[in-house]
Amino acid sequence: MRAVLQRVDRGSVSIDGTIHGQIGKGLVILVGFGHGDNAETVRKMCRKILQLRIFEDENGKMNRSVTDINGELLIISQFTLFADCRRGNRPDFIQAMPPQAAESIYDQFVRSMQGCGLYVQTGKFAAYMQLSLVNNGPVTIIIDLSE
């Protein structure tokens, strides 16, 4: 499981020209799933994201989590996080979990994050989406729990 976290002042996702989800201050989370990811992987990723101290405290130090600041979450599925570009110029996605299984794990991830008490918005699994955001910092963190 891989996630790209972007600390944002605001973010939104549109599908077919219509806003599907939007947030204020918090995290845009791009998440992809690989072979072997399961409920335990989801649990670990959720805990890591919610506890990661990447928001500034009163002294300007990155010392607060998204939970500490009561931030908002925008979760977007993105299988391309498992692109392998080592050979040739066309990425392969062999390491990405097949869509049907990935959708089930994605749904688990979203439900787990919704259970944390923060405001959560999502894109739509396997949809063509346009993402807009204002990255704060910029702060972008990659978390890779794949084996």
CATH number at residue 47: 3.50.80.10
What is the spatial distance between Cα 7 and Cα 23, in angstroms, rounded to a whole number? Answer: 11
Among residues of the chain, what percentage have pLDDT more than 70?
99
Examine the pLDDT at 147 and tell me if it is beyond 90: no
Q: How many C-alpha atoms does 107 have within 13 Å on its Cβ side?
A: 7
Tell me the C-alpha distance between 24 and 146, whole Å. Answer: 30
Supply the range of the domain harboring residue 43: 2-144
State how many domains the chain has.
1
**Each residue of 77-130: pLDDT tens digit?**
999 999 999 999 999 999 999 999 999 999 999 999 999 999 999 999 999 999
Three-state SS for 30? strand
**Single pTM value for the model:** 0.96
Active site residues: 78-80
